[in-house]
């Protein structure tokens, strides 16, 4: 464990304490979710775990898209960014940022417009998944609905936090290293 005298941040194995805590929270909640799947009475546990991974992957993708850090405009540091506030001499490529903004607006807009149909869509998806999990018809609809709610939400939160905490710092560090290299 070491500290950074410039920022006062504590690092464990080269990663900030906040990032370790976020990883721990994400890993712990995922472990609880997967343990619940393993110990419940679902006949087809491997299929339930695959659905959970798929739902979590979708949540992670959304969390990543929503959290892509913004590049500084005209070489000015972003007031909300982490890390060193030195001025960059170049502007980062913002194609992914523009796609992220577009997808975020599209998803939020479509979600708000279709908000009333979400419960029915969730029920239909849960019934579809439950049919493949084994048992009597309709027996595992609640378990399937839990998979469709729990894993995407925690995937979204984990990916959002890790992207915001890690990628923004990594981008700032890379920009600052490039500026330092150009100055020397």
pLDDT, tens digit (0-9, with 9 covering 90-100), for 124-177: 999 999 999 988 888 999 999 999 999 999 999 988 888 887 777 777 777 777
Please tell me the predicted confidence (pLDDT) of residue 79.
47
Please tell me the predicted confidence (pLDDT) of residue 90.
42
Asked whether the beta carbons of 122 and 141 are under 8 A apart, the reply is no
Asked whether the beta carbons of 63 and 163 are under 8 A apart, the reply is yes
Asked whether the beta carbons of 142 and 52 are under 8 A apart, the reply is no
Average pLDDT over residues 54-80: 74
pLDDT, tens digit (0-9, with 9 covering 90-100), for 5-50: 555 566 766 777 777 788 888 888 888 988 988 888 889 999 999 9
Whole-Å CA distances, 40 to 80, 112, 133, 135: 44, 34, 12, 13
Angle at the Cα of 21 (from 172 to 60), degrees rounded to 5?
Answer: 70
Report the alpha-carbon distance of residue 143 to residue 147 in Å, rounded. Answer: 6
* Gyration radius of the chain over CA positions: 21
Q: Using the 8-state DSSP alphabet, how is residue 74 labeled?
A: G
Q: Beta strands of the chain (E only): which ranges?
A: 2-3, 10-12, 15-16
- Extract the tokens encoding 138: 């309709």
């Amino acid at each position: 464990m070491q500290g950074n005298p410039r920022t006062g941040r504590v690092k464990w194995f080269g990663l900030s304490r906040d990032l370790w805590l976020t990883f721990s929270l994400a890993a712990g909640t995922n472990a609880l979710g997967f343990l619940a799947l393993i110990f419940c009475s679902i006949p087809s546990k491997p299929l339930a775990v695959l659905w959970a991974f798929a739902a979590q992957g979708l949540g992670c993708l959304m969390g990543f898209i929503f959290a892509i850090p913004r590049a500084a405009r005209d070489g000015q540091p972003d007031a909300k960014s982490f890390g060193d506030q030195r001025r960059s001499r170049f502007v980062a490529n913002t194609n992914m940022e523009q796609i992220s903004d577009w997808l975020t607006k599209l998803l939020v807009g479509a979600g708000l417009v279709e908000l009333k149909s979400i419960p029915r869509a969730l029920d239909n998806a849960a019934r579809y998944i439950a049919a493949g999990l084994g048992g009597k018809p309709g027996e595992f609809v609640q378990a399937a609905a839990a998979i469709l709610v729990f894993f995407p939400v925690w995937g979204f939160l984990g990916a959002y936090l890790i992207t915001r905490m890690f990628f923004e710092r990594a981008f700032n560090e890379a920009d600052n290293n490039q500026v330092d290299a150009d100055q020397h």
